[in-house]
Chain A
Amino acid sequence: MSASPLTQIPEPTTWNFKLLAQHQLDGFGGMGEGMSISLTKDGRRIIWLAHESAPKNFTGVDVSDPRKPKVVVQTDLPQSHMRSNSLELSGDLMAVAYQTQKTGQKPAGFELFDVSVPEKPRSISFFDCSGATSRGVHQLWFCDGQFVHMAAGAPDFQPSHPLDDQFYRCIDVRNPAKPVEVGRWWIPGTRQGDSTPPPPRHKLDKGYRAHNTNVYAKRPDRLYLAYIDGGMFIVDISDKSKPKPVSHWTNSPPYTGFTHTVMPLFDRNLLIVTDESTENSAKDWPKLVWILDNRDETHPVSIATCPLPPVDAYKDRGGRFGAHNLFENTPVPTAWHSEDIILGTFFNGGLRAYDISNAYQPKEVAAFVPPAPAGTPAGAVQLNDVFVDEREIVYTVDRFTGGLYILEMDF
C-alpha cells in the first residue's frame, strides 16, 4: 500500500444505517452475546444485555425512546471468576447464564429472574451445573417460557478431552421455581465411556463443544445446534428426552472450525450458519457467514457466503475481524423477523446487513463500523452481537468498552 496520508487511520463507516444513540453503560461497556427486550406494564421498553465478563452481570436499558437510552438497572456478579455473557427472555421471565473460568468453580449454571419491575429483578431460582468437570453454562436460548436450551457442562459428564466439556442440555422451566433437566445430547465420542472413539482434533483446536442451541416456534421439534469444532447439527427433539441428530454439516477442515450459530429460515428452506473469529489479527481467517440450502434437512448444502471487505484492510486495525453473531429472528413478539435481510456482527468489521433475496448472491446493503470506543484495549471497535426489535430498531454492542449502539436501518 502506498504511503498516502489518506490511509493513516482507517475511517469509520456508516452506510445505510443511521446512528440514533450510543451509551457506554456507565463505564461498563464490555458486552457479551445476550440481548433481549421486555415491555413493562407501564409501557416502557427495556433491553436486557449480558456483560461479557465480570464484574457486571446484566444491564437493563430503557430504550422506549431509542434516541435517549437510559440505564435502569445494572447488576453485579457474585464472583470475579465468572461471566454471564448470555441471557434470554420470555415475557418477564429472564434466564441468565453463568460460566466460570475453571471447572469446579461456583456458581455455575443459570438463574431465572422476574424482571416485571426492571429496577428490581427478582431471582426465582438457580439451576446448578457446577461440578469437577463443569464450567457451567456458556450460552442459553429461552423463548417459549417453557424450556431452556443451553450449551453447558454437568457434574455427571466427563469429557474425553478437556476442551469438550459443554454439550446440549434441555431444562424444563414450566415450574420456574424448580427447573429440571429433561434431555441432553453430545457428539458421540466426546464423553468418557462412549463406545464411539473421540473425534479427531482440529489443527486450531477450540474443542467439540455446543454453542448456540436455537429452537423456533415454527418447528418446536427441531434444535438447530452449533457445535464449535463439530460443525452444526439439526436435531429431532420431538422427544426431548431422546434428541436424535437428523443431519450434520461442517466446513472444517479445511476451515478453522468454531461453528457458532445456526439460524433456519423456514419460509425459504435456508440455513444461515456462522463461524466465530476467535483469534486477533484474523489469524484464523476466514471466518464467515454461510448460506445453506436446506430443502432437504437431512442434507444441507452450502451455496454462498456473505461478502466481507478485504481482510488486509481490517486485520491490523486491532482485535478480531470476522464473523460471530447474527440477529437470529428470535421467536418473541419484541423481535423483528426477516428472511431477506440478515444482520451480523464482525468485531472490528462492525455490523453489516445483507440482502439475501437471491440466496446464491448475498449482497451487502449496510455497514456500521464506528470509531474505536473510548478506553478500549482492543484498538478498534469489536461489535459482538446484534438484536432488532419489532419496531425495526437495531441494537449492537461492543465487546470491551463501547456499550450499546442504537441504529435505524436506512435501506
Chain B
Amino acid sequence: MNELFPSPAAGRFGRRQKRERGARMPVTVLTGFLGAGKTTLLKRFLATPDGAGTAVVVNEFGAVGIDDTLLRASADQTVLLGNGCVCCNTRSDLQIALRRLVAERERGAIPDFRRIVIETSGLADPSPILQTFATDRALGEEFHLELVATVVDAAAGKATLDWSAEARKQAILADMLVVTKSDIADETATAALVAQLRALNAHAAIETAVNGALDPRRLIGPHSGERSAFVAELSHSDGILSFVLSESAPISWNTFARAMDTLVALRGADLLRVKGFLNVEGCSGPVVVQFVQHLAHPAVELAAWPDGERASRMVFITRNIPERQVRDLFAAVRALAR
C-alpha cells in the first residue's frame, strides 16, 4: 500500500530506522541446560540499572525460575519482582503471554517495562521460539528478537553437549554464549568446552560469568558488530555448517527474494538460522534480514550503514547445506534475472 502515498523518507521496507529494532520491543531469549546458571545470571541482571524495567517470561513448566513460588502462581498472573521488573510464566502460548504483557502495560496495570527476557531451559530447542517471531506477523512487527544468549556450565557443559542434540542446538543458535562456573571447573575442562562451543558456533561472542557476574549490557543487544573471527565451513557431527556470504556489489531485492524462496522451499527445515545485512539496489541503507527455517522476519531498512562500508554480509547456519550450493544458487538466480 506504500505505493499510493510514497514518502521520500521511507523506502520499500517502510521508514528507515536508526537501529535494527526500530520502535519494537527488544526481546532476549535466555536458554541453557538445567543447572547451567541462567537463573543466577538473570537475577543479577534484573537488579542492575540496565536490568530495570525488564519483563521476564518463563517459558517452560517445571523449570527452575526466578523463584519456585512464582512458578506455582497461576499462569494468568503477572507478578512484580522489584526494580520495575515483572514476571509471568507460560506453558505453551508465547504469543498470548507477550501480548498480555503489552496489553497490561498499555492499560497501566503493570510497571512500564522496556524489554522482555524469555527464559527457557532444560531440553529445549530454541528454534520454535525464534520462529514465533517470524510466524506471527503481528509479533514480528511489535517485537524484535535482539539476542539469543545460551548459558553453558563449564564443569558439566562439555559432557552435556556430547550427549544432547538440544544442548548443541542451543549453542548453535546463540548470538552469545555465557560460560558459567569456570571458578569451580578446571582450566583444561573450560578450555575444551570453549573450543567445542567455538566449533559449534563460529560467530557468537563467548563470555565468562562467575557467580552470575556478567556486564549487564552484554545481555542487551544487539551484538551484531562483534562477530568473532570467521572460520570457513565449520562442521560437526550433526552436519551443522556455518558460513558467511559477503559481497560489495548491490543485489536486487527480487533476486535475493527469489533465491531465498527457492532455498526455503527446497531445504527450509535445514536453514537453522540466517541473518545479515544486505546491500540492496535502490536502498540507501542496509536491509536487515533474518530467517529461521521456513520463516522470514519482516525486512527492515536502516537509515545508515554502521561503519560506512556498503557490503552485504549474511551468516548462514545450516544442516548439510554447504556454502558452495548457496553461492551457486544465488549466482544462478542472478544470471537468470538479468
Contacts and interface: CB of A to CB of B under 8 A. Distances in A.
A15 B114 contact: yes
B336 interface: no
B15 interface: yes
B79 to A, nearest CB: 8
Contacts of A269: 5
B225 interface: no
Contacts of A11: 105, 108-112
Interface in B50-107: 77-78, 80, 104-107
A242 B161 CA distance: 82
B133 to A, nearest CB: 17
B4 interface: yes
Specify the main secondary structure of chain A where it touches its partner: loop
Chain A CB count within 10 A is highest, among B5, B6, B77, B111, for B5
Contact of A313 (B1, B8, B78, B106): B106
Interface in A2-26: 4, 6-7, 10-16
B301 to A, nearest CB: 11
Contact of B10 (A357, A363, A365): A357
Interface string A107-136: 000000000000000000000000000000
Contacts of B106: 13, 309-310, 313
Interface in B256-283: none
Contact of A6 (B9, B15, B80): B80
Nearest to B2: A358
Nearest to B106: A309
Interface of A: 4, 6-7, 10-16, 267-270, 293, 295, 309-310, 313, 317, 338-341, 355, 357-361, 363, 365-366, 369, 411
Given A15-B114, A293-B5, 16 more contacts: A4-B109, A7-B109, A10-B108, A11-B112, A13-B112, A16-B23, A268-B6, A309-B107, A310-B106, A339-B9, A357-B7, A358-B2, A359-B5, A363-B23, A366-B23, A411-B18
Nearest to A353: B23
B107 A355 contact: no
26 contacts: A4-B109, A6-B104, A6-B110, A7-B107, A7-B109, A11-B105, A11-B112, A12-B112, A13-B106, A13-B112, A16-B23, A267-B6, A268-B5, A270-B5, A309-B107, A310-B106, A313-B109, A339-B9, A340-B7, A341-B15, A355-B14, A357-B15, A358-B1, A358-B2, A359-B4, A366-B23
Contact of B1 (A270, A359, A369): A359
Contacts, number: 84
Contact of A338 (B1, B6, B9): B9
A199 B270 CA distance: 68
B23 A313 contact: no
A269 B110 CA distance: 40
B111 A365 contact: no
Contacts of A12: 108, 112
A309 B102 CA distance: 11
A368 B105 CA distance: 12
A313 B14 contact: no
Contacts of A361: 1
A310 B109 CA distance: 12
Interface string B9-29: 110001101100011000000
B141 interface: yes
B21 to A, nearest CB: 9
Contacts of B22: 365, 411
A332 B288 CA distance: 35
A317 B107 CA distance: 11
B88 to A, nearest CB: 11
A339 B2 CA distance: 13
B7 A355 contact: no
B105 A340 contact: no
Minimum-distance CB pairs A-B, first 4: A10-B108, A365-B23, A313-B107, A411-B23
Contacts of B18: 411
Contacts of A313: 106-109
A11 B18 CA distance: 28
A355 B14 CA distance: 9
Given A6-B80, A357-B2, A339 B7 contact: yes
Given A6-B78, A16-B23, A358 B108 contact: no
Contacts of A310: 106-107
Nearest to A308: B106
B168 to A, nearest CB: 37
Contacts of A293: 4-5
A355 B15 contact: yes
Contacts of A317: 108
Contacts of B7: 267-268, 339-340, 357
A369 B5 contact: no
Contacts of A267: 6-8
A13 B4 CA distance: 34
Contacts of B141: 363
A12 B84 CA distance: 12
Contact of A340 (B15, B77, B108, B114): B15
Interface in B106-145: 106-112, 114, 141
A361 B298 CA distance: 16
B108 A15 contact: no
A4 B111 CA distance: 14
A295 B109 CA distance: 42
Interface in B174-202: none
B137 to A, nearest CB: 12
Contacts of A359: 1, 4-5
Nearest to B17: A411
A68 to B, nearest CB: 22
Given A16-B23, A268-B7, A369 B108 contact: yes
A368 to B, nearest CB: 10
Contacts of B77: 4
Contacts of A14: 112
A365 to B, nearest CB: 3
B14 to A, nearest CB: 5
